[in-house]
Amino acid sequence: MIKIGELSKVTGCSVQTIRHYEKEHLIASAERSEGNFRLYDEAAVEQLLFIKHCRSLDLSVPEIRQLLALNRSPGAQCDDVNRMMDRHIEQVEARIQELTRLNEQLRMLRRSCSNRRTVEQCGILRNLSATPVSSG
């Protein structure tokens, strides 16, 4: 049994994050020592790593909660997992497209000012004052 500081080191999650996950019921309430310190076993390490892996893929806490619930019903069909992943992938791709458009506009804007101009003649500020291109 390890304490929260060690769990933090082993998993790379901060101590506060671990306590936060407990409060959010992503991980079960830990056993306590006589002095009221949280105690964790190997299974807790595994579960926290699972959560960390999910978070590194930008899966949200509710999504992870759903995955954990499915993990607990091994006989169920995979359809729910797959639907969630598809939706999540869609959202990531939409965000990439959005940022890509944004990036083009920013570069265009940036080109409108050469260094050593004064603010008064600045193309960036002038363009920002003009009506934005519709982005819908």
Partner DNA sequence: TATAAACTCTATAACAACTATAGAGTCAAT
Partner DNA sequence: ATTGACTCTATAGTTGTTATAGAGTTTATA
Closest approach of Cβ 53 to DNA, in Å? Answer: 12
Binding mask 60-89 for DNA (x = CB under 7 A): xxx---------------------------
Q: Does residue 60 bind a second copy (CB under 8 A)?
A: no
136 binds a second copy (CB under 8 A): no
Among 1, 25, 28, 33, binds DNA (CB under 7 A): 33
Task: Tell me whether residue 40 is exposed, middle or buried, using C-beta atoms within 10 angstroms of its C-beta: 0 to 12, 13 to 18, 19 or more.
Answer: buried
Q: How far is the CB of 99 from DNA (least distance, A)?
A: 15
Q: How far is 60 from 24, CA to CA, in rounded Å? A: 12
Q: What are phi and psi of 132, to 5 degrees?
A: -65, 150
Amino acid identity at 106: L
32 vs 101, which CB is nearer to a second copy? 101
Q: What is the residue-wise DSSP string for 1-47?
A: -B-HHHHHHHH---HHHHHHHHHTTSSPPPEE-TTS-EEB-HHHHHH
Note the residues at the interface with Zn ion (CB under 5 A): 78, 88, 113, 117, 122, 124
Note the residues at the interface with DNA (CB under 7 A): 3-6, 8, 14-17, 19-20, 30, 32-38, 55, 60-62
